[in-house]
Structure 1
Amino acid sequence: MSLRISPVIPGFGLTLGYTLVYLSLLVLIPLGAMFVHASQLTWAQFWEVISAPRVLAALKLSFGTALVAALLNGVIGTLLAWVLVRYPFPGRKIIDAMIDLPFALPTAVAGIALTALYAPAGSVGQLAGEFGLKIAYTPLGIALALTFITLPFVVRTLQPVLADIPREVEEAAACLGASPWQAFRHVLLPALLPAWLTGFGLAFARGIGEYGSVIFIAGNMPGKTEILPLLIMVKLDQYDYTGATSIGVLMLVVAFVLLLPLNLLQRRIAIR
């Protein structure tokens, strides 16, 4: 198999060397240092740290709410991308620009705004309280905050793919007798699925490590609404650096185990 050399940036060896150096300095060395620092503990001590009920509860909450938020955005983001690409309407550019607001807002500002809205004294919180539903300081509030923060990942990933699918393809499927569901299942879904998986993976990964927008609306009750990033900060405040890095290693390993199959599936579908 021969390598394809890019005519734009010459010097494969030089560019590859720079890539590996920057990747090592920015990603591999810091992550390696975290593993080295955690290795100061024996396996029994490491297991004692990561198997503590408080850590397991935070792990379940962080990954569970991130998964729920990514799934919600998988549906909502697909609909938003579809409407923004397929239907011209007044104010479309304004709505399209608003999609990027979670990127522009400081996460702490987003967290304060969401808390003010969903807290028992907030407008939405009061309305939900009349139906016996509590949003703020519950896992539901955390999932909503993560949904707000991670929405742009799905929308911005799907938009260019939808824009590249000609309308004539759907019209041709309809002319051949395909129902709307059949046209979506056999024509649109194969083209959208790789991008959808990418957007879902990005949203899930961002939700796992989100901190600023969550700590205000979570309430931070140990064992109930305490997320892993906050627990790491608690360990750091207690000068328990080894414990903090141990939880970080756990978080990294679990995220890698969950995201690797997703990336492999996305690549396999894209090759077909």
Structure 2
Amino acid sequence: MRTRRVLPGLPLSLGITVFYLSLIVVLPLGALVYKAASLGPAEYWQIVSSERAVASYLVTAGSALGATLFNLVFGLILAWVLVRYQFPGKRLLDAVVDLPFALPTAVAGIALTTLFVPDGWLGQLAAPFGLQIAYTPLGIMIAMAFTSLPFIVRTVQPVLEDLDPALEEAAQSLGGSDSSIFLRVILPLLAPALMAGTSLSFARSLGEFGAIIFIAGNQPFETEITALLAFIRLEEYEYQAAAAIASVMLIIAFVMLAITNLLQARALRYTAKG
């Protein structure tokens, strides 16, 4: 006797899903790898290890790391405020969190540049302290943090909403302080979501382009990101060089996601045992 499926149409729906996934994700990535692989090993290494390329990796990865660490702290605080407190304008603030998703990144870059140039609203406040934000790595970090913040907030927020209040009440009844309850009870339960949001935030920062090129200044060896360098190679009709440079960031993103998924799986097993 054949077992009737609870959800009919699995072969058709799975086939459509795999087809569109291949068309949208696998095919472009495959073309990138194929183009980069058409270079010989020596030529590939010469392109990806050039002084200008290495400088762009350092600017991109360093800025993405700084933006992600900022989002990790600020995103957790923002998610906590949205879940645990009631205040006027809460719904508006909750909606503003998704603004980077809806706002074109080029528009975000122009707006941030207007704010943080030396004579801008926020740039004027930093100028007396000798701090320049626009056209520096700090400006790149701000642009990356702006576009990637929702990934951490939206992954942590539902987990916070689903936490059982009885766990905190039990810890309080045993004499736990607020800090110890957060560090020993709440934070371990949030760890998998924090890791997922952090990895997504970092990956988005690595690949950000439109919001950065306006505020970065795009000076080679100083504020030039890898995505821009690959774009420059495309404009110079050096397609293989562009693919080689882009493949480096692709490898970094995949390695980072693999490590994060491994850590997330371990955190989930630890939480399940607890």
Q: Which TM-score applies when normalising by structure 1?
A: 0.94
Is 1:52 the counterpart of 2:50? The answer is yes
**Residue deviations 1:219-262 (CA, integer Å, cap 9, x gap):** 00001000011111101110111110111111111221222111
Helix, strand or coil for the counterpart of 1:123?
Answer: coil
1:120-139 maps to which residues of 2 (within 5 A)? 120-139=118-137
Aligned match of 2:61: 63
The offset of 1:198, in angstroms, is 0.6
* Distance in 2 separating the partners of 1:264 and 1:18: 29
Normalised to the residue count of structure 2, the TM-score between the two structures is 0.93
The corresponding residue for 1:94 is 92
How far has the Cα of 1:7 moved from its partner?
Answer: 5.0
CA distance, structure 2, for counterparts of residue 98 and residue 87 of structure 1: 17
**Which of 71, 74, 77 is 2:72 aligned to?**
74
From 135, 142, 148, the counterpart of 1:150: 148
Name the counterpart of 2:31.
Answer: 33
The 3 A distance-change label for structure 1 pair 129 and 8 is: farther
One-letter code aligned to 2:139: G
Aligned residues: 268
Which of 205, 208, 211 pairs up with 1:207? 205
Closer, same or farther: CA 184–221 of 1 in aligned 2, 3 Å: same
The answer on 1:228 being equivalent to 2:226 is: yes
Following the alignment from structure 2 to structure 1, what is the Cα–Cα distance between the partners of residues 37 and 215?
34
Deviation string 1:131-170 (CA, Å, 9 cap, x unpaired) is 0111110000100111111111111111110000133321
CA drift of 1:10 comes to 2.6
User: How many Å separate the matches in 1 of 2:4 and 2:67?
Assistant: 39
| Structure 1 residue 64: Cα displacement | 1.2
Listed one character per residue, the Cα deviations across residues 188-226 of structure 1 (whole Å, up to 9, x for unaligned) are 012100001011011101000000000000000001000
**Contact between 2:63 and 2:137, CA under 8 Å: does it hold in 1?**
yes
Deviations 1:80-136 (A, max 9, x none): 100110011111111111111111111111101110111111121122111011111
Distance in 2 separating the partners of 1:52 and 1:181: 48
For 2:33, give the aligned amino acid.
F
2:63 counterpart SS class: helix
Superposition RMSD in Å: 1.6
**8 Å contact kept, 2:135–2:217:** yes
Instruction: Note the C-alpha offset of 1:11.
Output: 4.7
Cα distance in 2 for partners of 1:25, 1:109 equals 29
Which runs of 5 or more structure 1 residues have no equivalent in the other structure?
none
- The whole-number CA distance in structure 1 between the counterparts of 2:7 and 2:32 is 35
